[in-house]
A and B are shown apart, each in its own frame.
Chain A
Amino acid sequence: MKVSLFITCIADQMYPEVGESVVRLLHRLGCEVEFPEGQTCCGQPAFNSGYRDEAREVARQWIRAFEGSEYIVAPSGSCAGMIRHYYPQLFEDEPEWKEKAERLSARTYELSQFLVHVLGVEATGARFAAKATFHPSCHAMRLLGVRGEPERLLAGVEGLEMIELKCKEDCCGFGGTFAVKMSEMSEAMVSEKARNVAETGAEVLIGTDLGCLMNIEGRLKKEGKTVRVMHLAEVLQKGAERR
């Protein structure tokens, strides 16, 4: 199966090792991974800030990059959600582009969604002895309906003990430009999230979206907490490499 990696700008630029884990994981599970080099960003920062025209031009670049793709997989529910939910409406007045947007959005998946529903995989052969907790990301849950897929994949990891996170479905306060524009509100939210993470006693926090993870990790570090923060793909891949 041919899979195009939608790296997302944040993984590309800030967390390349997560991108690598995604590629190795998909490769190990039998996918032929390719990386469309024309991709930059999905346009969400502009779209969510109300700059629809700017978002549309960036979206065109994304569509051009992925035009020939069969399956598109992103290590982010937020970026995949942008394509799935908002691309078709972004091109409402341009039938030709709308058609492309709809075709591609139907092929776009968040990683855990793709593993569980397309590949039909839950046991990825990983082993990772640690106490961990999981933060489900808002857009994966609410825009894509990812409910329990990451947890099912984590349940298949040998040696991993999962601890439930209090108020886990509350937003961590990232929200892209929200964290910058409304930094005080965002700070209050991420402080509570970091406190709840610390209270689990977990050694590792696992998530599916790097925006959220960067935010929570940034807060944990500021508070001098030593909780390790990992993307789901790293747990599933590095846990198998170590075997």
Chain B
Amino acid sequence: MSGAGAKAGDKRKLIGSGLKLRAKDALGNAFLRGAVAFTTDKLRGGRLNAMAEFGNWEAWRERGRAIREHTIRHLDYYLSQFAEGVAKAGGHVHFCASADDAVGVFMEIAGRHGAKLVAKGKSMVSEEIHLNEHLAAAGIKAVETDLGEYILQLAGETPSHLIIPAIHKNKAQIAELFSKDAGRPLPPETKPLADYARARLRSIFLEADIGLTGCNFGVAESGTIVVVSNEGNGRMVTTIPKVHVVVMGMERLVPTFEDLEVLLNLLPRSATGQKLTSYVSLITGPRRPGDLDGPEELHVIVLDNGRSEQLGDPVFQEVLHCIRCAACLNVCPVYRHVGGHAYGGVYSGPIGAVLTPLLQQDMAEAGQLAYASSLCGACWEACPVKIPLHDMLVHLRQRKVGMKLNPPSERAAFRMYKKVFANVKWFRLATRSARLLQRPFVREGQIRKAPGPLSGWTRSRVLPALPERPFRDRWAELKRELYGNPADGGKGPSGSFDGGGDGR
């Protein structure tokens, strides 16, 4: 199945322009880096406090992992149970293999209702299928009602974080956008800005023909859609418009309400450090006879778009365990400096670096993302369901290397590495030669300007020169000093070892 259909062409172009270029852009943007560091620091602290207060975090984490593993291993069973539940409650399930299919289903629903206005709750899957662009092309207005998403819609940008989409914007930038929209100056303060958005969005909720949301969890035993939010817009969007359309990834299921409880404990604590989000909406079917509100029709679009390709993969199946809490983004030192847009796809941070190449089945361009990590493992440590993202990044690199997509010079360098380091004689010879070769570049024991691949290092760092004698050449003396010469009966010499005196 094609993860990157024609409709996703713009994103592909973005990725084609190169991870390094996008990262360079971001690194030059002090506003962005300041805003991202400020918010992720708060989220990190919140998460640690929430974990400590909750207690037994590792045990909860293991339960979460086990639930996700079980669900994904039996995904076919739970999908069918979920679909039955939705249908039994009066909703409609649409399984969509690709982004194009999902867009097609949505357009068909919108067409049938003559929809002109769609009120959107937060949904990363709707970003994944580029729904807004398709709606705009069809003359249907879509309005984001999540505050962060609303800000981005005004700015004409895409989310740069899974749960804080406008993390890269500061208050002054938001005030500027809102003032432009309002046609009058608004102060860069939270309350007046939120009040403005609230007033603007109220009429959208009332007039929308379709309410669209994502889905945090689908409970298989009952066909229930679970939406967590903090602004209440999710509740409005799922209650007022006549039609509610849910778009969800096919992996978003939990078997039972008992399992849901575990994941609802892990998700907000990992995401924002909250015990519970302000709203947890459980939606089972459309409005029933006698209900005062709720949509008349409920449609659930279940999207594959590259996900099922990971099922059965010994390494990558686990990526489907993700519950989209963004804890890995918040702790990632790379994300901290480059923000989300540098990743060039809908999903950013370590999870995005793994997910984007897999969903798009594109190792050549999107596969570059596998290198956007120092493999520090902070993502793995923060993940509430223990996904070994750092190991997956290495596996993606292996896949890329296996496909011979890396530069020939790099491949040659590692062939040389193997030859030299797998044989200690070659190793001695090579390290001795390196001592000769470095000479023209060494000043006072340091290299301040290295040639070739090391030039990137010395542009921002000093490189210590190789000292005259490596440890292995000093070992014999050191051994004699400490343990004596076997020939003179194990008595050590009297003279002290000369440490060489180089280095630090």
Partners in one complex: yes
Q: Which positions in A face B, CB cutoff 8 Å?
A: 7, 9, 11-17, 19-20, 23-24, 27, 32-33, 35, 37-41, 43, 45-54, 57-58, 60-61, 65, 138-139, 141-143, 169-171, 173-176, 178-192, 214-215, 217-219, 221-222, 228-230, 234
Tell me, in angstroms, the Cα distance from A27 to B484 when the chains sit together.
13
Tell me, in angstroms, the Cα distance from A113 to B423 when the chains sit together.
29
Q: Which positions in B face A, CB cutoff 8 Å?
A: 20, 23-24, 27, 33, 333-334, 336-338, 370-378, 380-381, 394, 396-402, 406, 410, 414-415, 417-418, 420-424, 427, 431, 434, 446, 453-454, 456-457, 459-464, 466-467, 469-472, 474-475, 478-479, 482-483, 497, 499-500, 502-504
For the A-B complex with A19-B471, A38-B424 known, give 9 more contacts whose Cβ atoms are closer than 8 Å.
A20-B497, A37-B475, A57-B418, A60-B422, A138-B376, A171-B376, A175-B376, A179-B457, A187-B459
Residue of B376, B466, B475, B483 near A14 (CB, 8 A) is: B466
Given contacts A33-B482, A222-B460, contact A178 B373 (CB under 8 A): yes
In contact, A48 and B375 (Cβ under 8 angstroms): yes
- Which A residue's beta carbon lies closest to that of B477? A20
5 A-B residue pairs with Cβ-Cβ distance under 8 Å, sorted by A, are A16-B503, A32-B483, A50-B394, A180-B454, A221-B446
- Which B residue's beta carbon lies closest to that of A179? B457
- Chain B residue contacts of A40, Cβ below 8 A: 420-424, 427
> In whole Å, how far is B63's beta carbon from the nearest beta carbon of chain A?
21
Given contacts A138-B376, A180-B456, contact A37 B467 (CB under 8 A): no
- Chain A residue contacts of B20, Cβ below 8 A: 182, 184
In contact, B374 and A173 (Cβ under 8 angstroms): yes
Tell me, in angstroms, the Cα distance from A49 to B402 when the chains sit together.
12
Tell me, in angstroms, the Cα distance from A141 to B462 when the chains sit together.
26
Residue of A9, A20, A192 near B478 (CB, 8 A) is: A20
Number of A-B contacts (CB under 8 A): 210
> In whole Å, how far is B382's beta carbon from the nearest beta carbon of chain A?
10
In contact, B378 and A54 (Cβ under 8 angstroms): no
- Chain A residue contacts of B396, Cβ below 8 A: 50
- Chain A residue contacts of B336, Cβ below 8 A: 170
Closest 4 A/B residue pairs (Cβ): A175-B374, A50-B397, A183-B456, A218-B461
Tell me, in angstroms, the Cα distance from A40 to B223 when the chains sit together.
58
- Chain B residue contacts of A219, Cβ below 8 A: 460-461
- Which A residue's beta carbon lies closest to that of B456? A183
Tell me, in angstroms, the Cα distance from A40 to B424 when the chains sit together.
6
In contact, A222 and B374 (Cβ under 8 angstroms): no
In contact, B337 and A185 (Cβ under 8 angstroms): yes
Residue of B378, B434, B483 near A169 (CB, 8 A) is: B378
